């Protein structure tokens, strides 16, 4: 890709000069290609170029015009790199000039990654409106909570107006029911005005089935590999160069034209690529070139189910250069510790001993035999800093992929919710909250779609049912096609005025304030850490330090009062947080100070946080 590709979008319909439009379409198998305008009354032929591209420069297309592309004089379909689908996935594409938006964030600088406190949300269910405008109305709330980076689930155009986003079929088009491209630009701009970064979830391992016209244009998919969700995207088979360019340009567009600060790449273990230069490495190199050209900073975060630090190791160490990854294993160890659940992949996790290992090693499995996978699994990640790992008590997958979509708050007590939150936020990793957890939202987050194809809808229903067999779930999964399933997943903002929701919100604020203000918590140094656990008592002691400051976190995951000894080497410490204190609707307050060798009483399902110099 040349420098022009980095600086400007080249695929699809662009407007390089006033009164001029340029059209570039990759359709290597086409014999003829035209762009159809004015409700079919205007047809403009494109000229075939090398490597499967078709090209046109014209003064007959303006921003806002709607169009189809006609292949071989017999098939009219939307543009595969359309920026907007105002009438849905089967309707005409809309030409737009993304550069027309007047940005107000010229002073914005992306935050250092170690300062990210992520908040994952789904645009359609986060607010009553279910739009970017609805998100914007809640920015002050998120800032007050202590969030620094808002992570939104995928917005690529999907069929209908109800979907998690992983069935997107137009990678460049922003979902029309959310407000479309300009509304998204305004939202990102507003976030930057508030001092918050924006992370966008993107899907480069598959596309959804309905409205997926890419195969009509060329070999976007390959039969060499399969994914759990459909054919794999063609990153290394014949004609893959055009596909690699398409998705790399897509990534650059989000950073350059929408000012997105970071992307979360969905399930990169399902991106199959045996090219000499893996597509993720190539993307990282192009992003580095963009950052050098613009002076802006962007991060690439991956969802990864491999415990393979090659993905997050630097380019110069022959890694793929990803900046951070989600760590599901921390979640699994914490979930087993807090709930005792052992079905499905949770069977691989012992509970508190594995949670202790997750604090120390990031990966729980770093070479041991996994019963669930039936093989030795993982590799050590000793030299990767704390900010490369993102941890959570729950996320859209871990909630929505339960058969009934129960949040953690439905599975454990309020005291355990507070303890689990502390386990994440006090870790040496980047914490991520799942929308509504900070006030114990009781509404479940369930799986929903709005396909118009009856056969596809029925296949989704059957697929969901089969998915839960390993978890020995009882009952019936909610109907993914029902609007009620979507509406039942929306947040109930009125609960913030009630108890215990209001107090839990303030508790989360207090935790995030501690993380922000105490150097021992703020610095994500994995070597300045010590963790011990007592499997019998279900007690874990996490000690972190920075220079002269020490923070000691005592966590009791049992349902009984436990006596815990302050570790040796910890001199006088002052209590800075007690989840069991009356101010957090807890049963009893603890000692306000302690020293090494002293016994401290830990209430059931509680955490005590002591600091040697809380004023630092």
Look at residues 407, 395, 334, 320 and name the one whose alpha carbon lies nearest to residue 364.
334
Helix H, strand E, coil C: the string for 297-342 is CCEEEECCCCCCCCCCCCHHHCCCCCCEEECHHHHHHHHHHHHCCC
Alpha-carbon distance of 23 to 612, in angstroms, equals 64
Instruction: Cite the annotated binding site for substrate by residue number.
Output: 264-269, 328-332, 396-401
**What percent of the chain has pLDDT above 70?**
98
Q: Is residue 238 over pLDDT 80?
A: yes
Tokens 């007047």, located at residue: 102
What residues form DSSP beta bridges with 407?
none
Tokens 């596309």, located at residue: 207
> Pick the catalytic residue: 79, 151, 210, 266?
266
Mean pLDDT, range 242-259, rounded to an integer? 98
pLDDT for the residue numbered 616: 44
pLDDT for the residue numbered 569: 85
Mean model confidence pLDDT for the chain: 95
pLDDT for the residue numbered 2: 59
Residue range(s) occupied by CATH 2.60.40.1180 in the chain: 529-611
Residue 614 pLDDT grade (very low, low, confident, very high; cuts 50, 70, 90): low
pLDDT for the residue numbered 346: 93
Q: Is residue 615 over pLDDT 60?
A: no
Dump the DSSP string for 145-214: HT--EEEE---EE-SSS---STT--EEEEEPGGGTHHHHHHHHHHHHHHTT-EEEEEE--S---STT--H
pLDDT one-digit tens code per residue, 338-373: 999 998 899 999 999 999 999 999 999 999 999 999
Residue range(s) occupied by CATH 2.60.40.10 in the chain: 3-100
Could you say which architecture CATH assigns to the domain 3-100?
Sandwich (2.60)
Assess whether 266 carries a catalytic annotation. Answer: yes
Residue 466 pLDDT grade (very low, low, confident, very high; cuts 50, 70, 90): confident
Mean pLDDT, range 321-335, rounded to an integer? 98
Alpha-carbon distance of 576 to 256, in angstroms, equals 43
Q: Which tokens sit at 592?
A: 């306000």
What residues form DSSP beta bridges with 230?
227
Mean pLDDT, range 173-194, rounded to an integer? 98
Look at residues 429, 432, 406 and name the one whose alpha carbon lies nearest to residue 421.
432
**What percent of the chain has pLDDT above 90?**
89
Dump the DSSP string for 267-293: TGGG----SSS-HHHHHHHHHHHHHHH
Mean pLDDT, range 25-43, rounded to an integer? 95
pLDDT for the residue numbered 320: 98
Assess whether 303 carries a catalytic annotation. Answer: yes
Q: DSSP character for 96?
A: -
Tokens 């050209």, located at residue: 293
At how many degrees (to 10) do helices 501-517 and 414-425 cross? 20
**24 cis-preceded (ω within 30 degrees of 0):** no
- Centroid of chain to Cα 55: 36
Q: How far is CA 518 from CA 511, 546, 608, in A?
A: 11, 9, 15
Tokens 């996935």, located at residue: 89
Q: Which tokens sit at 505?
A: 């919100």
- Low-confidence winner among 235-249, 418-432, 502-516, 588-602 (lowest mean pLDDT): 588-602
pLDDT one-digit tens code per residue, 104-118: 999 999 999 999 999
Specify the 3-state DSSP secondary structure of 564.
strand
- Centroid of chain to Cα 116: 13
Radius of gyration for the alpha carbons in the chain, expressed in angstroms and rounded: 25
CB environment 458-475: b (16+ within 10 A), e (fewer): eebbeebeebbeeeebee
Residue 469 pLDDT grade (very low, low, confident, very high; cuts 50, 70, 90): low
- Low-confidence winner among 37-46, 119-128, 224-233 (lowest mean pLDDT): 224-233
Mean pLDDT, range 262-271, rounded to an integer? 97
- Centroid of chain to Cα 291: 22
Alpha-carbon distance of 9 to 16, in angstroms, equals 10
Look at residues 499, 488, 340 and name the one whose alpha carbon lies nearest to residue 411.
340
> Pick the catalytic residue: 79, 120, 273, 303?
303
pLDDT one-digit tens code per residue, 283-313: 999 999 999 999 999 999 999 999 999 999 9
Question: Is the domain defined by 113-506 classed in CATH 3.20.20.370?
Answer: no
pTM: 0.97
Angle at 231 between CA 228 and CA 236, to 5 degrees: 115
Residues comprising the chain, all counted: 616
pLDDT for the residue numbered 459: 80
Mean pLDDT, range 186-204, rounded to an integer? 98
Residue 53 pLDDT grade (very low, low, confident, very high; cuts 50, 70, 90): very high
Instruction: Cite the annotated binding site by residue number.
Output: 264-269, 328-332, 396-401
Q: Which residues contact 267 (CB under 8 A, 6 or more apart)?
A: 205, 227, 303, 304, 305
Alpha-carbon distance of 263 to 152, in angstroms, equals 9
Specify the 3-state DSSP secondary structure of 356.
helix
Look at residues 232, 238, 201, 236 and name the one whose alpha carbon lies nearest to residue 214.
232
pLDDT one-digit tens code per residue, 376-403: 999 999 999 999 999 999 999 999 989 9
**Topology classification of domain 529-611:** Immunoglobulin-like (2.60.40)
Residue 456 pLDDT grade (very low, low, confident, very high; cuts 50, 70, 90): confident
List strand residue ranges (DSSP E) for 98-236, in order. Answer: 118-121, 149-152, 156-157, 170-174, 197-202, 221-227, 230-233
Backbone angles phi, psi at 527, to 5 degrees: -90, -20
Residue range(s) occupied by CATH 3.20.20.80 in the chain: 113-506
CB atoms within 10 A of CB 50: 5
CB-neighbour burial class of residue 297 (10 A; exposed 0-12, middle 13-18, buried 19+)? middle
Q: Is residue 557 over pLDDT 70?
A: yes
Q: Which tokens sit at 313?
A: 């190791």
Residue 571 pLDDT grade (very low, low, confident, very high; cuts 50, 70, 90): confident
């Amino acid at each position: 890709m040349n420098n022009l590709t980095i600086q400007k979008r080249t695929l699809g319909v662009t407007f390089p000069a006033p009164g001029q439009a340029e059209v570039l379409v990759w359709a290597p198998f086409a014999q003829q290609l035209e762009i159809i305008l004015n409700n079919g009354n205007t047809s403009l032929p494109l000229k075939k170029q090398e490597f499967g591209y078709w090209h046109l420069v014209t003064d007959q297309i303006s921003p806002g015009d709607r169009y189809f592309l006609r292949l071989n004089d017999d098939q009219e379909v939307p543009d595969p790199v359309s920026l907007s689908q105002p009438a849905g996935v089967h309707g005409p594409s809309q030409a737009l000039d993304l550069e027309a938006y007047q940005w107000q964030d010229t002073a914005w600088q992306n935050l250092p990654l170690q300062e990210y406190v992520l908040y994952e949300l789904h645009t359609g269910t986060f607010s009553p409106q279910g739009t970017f405008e609805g998100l914007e109305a809640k920015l002050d709330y998120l800032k007050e909570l202590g969030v620094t980076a808002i992570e939104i689930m995928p917005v690529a155009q999907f069929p209908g107006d109800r979907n998690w986003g992983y069935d997107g079929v137009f990678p460049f088009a922003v979902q029309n029911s959310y407000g479309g491209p300009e509304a998204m630009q305004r939202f990102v701009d507003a976030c930057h005005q508030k001092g918050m970064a924006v992370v966008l979830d993107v899907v480069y391992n598959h596309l959804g089935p309905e409205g997926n016209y890419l195969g009509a244009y060329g070999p976007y998919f390959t039969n060499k590999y399969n994914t759990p969700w459909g054919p794999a995207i063609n990153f290394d088979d014949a004609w893959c160069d055009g596909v690699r360019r398409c998705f790399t340009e897509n990534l650059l567009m989000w950073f350059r034209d929408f000012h997105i600060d970071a992307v979360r790449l969905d399930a990169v273990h399902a991106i199959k690529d045996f090219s000499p230069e893996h597509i993720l490495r190539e993307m990282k190199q192009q992003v580095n070139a963009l950052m050098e050209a613009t002076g802006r900073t962007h991060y690439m975060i991956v969802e990864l189910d491999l415990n393979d630090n090659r993905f997050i190791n630097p380019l110069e160490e022959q890694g793929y250069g990803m900046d951070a990854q989600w760590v599901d294993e921390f979640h699994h160890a914490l979930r087993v510790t807090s709930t005792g659940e052992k079905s499905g992949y949770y069977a691989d996790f012992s509970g508190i001993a594995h949670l202790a290992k997750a604090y120390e090693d990031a990966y729980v499995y770093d070479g041991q035999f996994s019963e669930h996978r039936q093989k030795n699994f993982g590799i050590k990640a000793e030299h990767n800093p704390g900010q490369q790992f993102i941890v959570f008590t729950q996320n859209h997958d871990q909630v929505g992929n339960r058969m009934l979509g129960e949040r953690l708050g439905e599975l454990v007590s309020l005291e355990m919710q507070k303890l689990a939150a502390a386990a994440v936020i006090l870790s040496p990793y980047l914490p991520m909250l799942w929308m509504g957890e900070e006030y114990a939202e009781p509404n479940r987050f369930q799986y929903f779609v709005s396909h118009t194809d009856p056969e596809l809808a029925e296949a989704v229903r059957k697929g969901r049912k089969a998915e839960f067999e390993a978890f020995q779930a009882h009952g019936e999964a909610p109907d993914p096609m029902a609007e009620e399933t979507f509406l039942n997943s929306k947040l109930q903002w009125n609960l913030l005025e009630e108890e215990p929701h209001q107090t839990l919100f303030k508790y989360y604020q207090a935790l995030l304030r501690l993380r922000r203000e105490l150097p021992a918590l703020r610095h994500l140094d994995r070597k300045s850490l010590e963790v011990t656990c007592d499997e019998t008592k279900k007690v874990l002691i996490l000690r972190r330090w920075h220079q002269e400051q020490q923070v000691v976190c005592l966590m009791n995951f049992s349902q009984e009062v436990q006596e815990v000894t302050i570790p040796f080497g910890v001199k006088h410490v002052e209590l800075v947080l007690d989840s069991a204190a009356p101010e957090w609707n807890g049963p009893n307050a603890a000692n306000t100070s302690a020293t090494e060798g002293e016994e401290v009483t830990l209430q059931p399902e509680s955490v005590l946080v002591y600091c040697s110099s809380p004023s630092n």
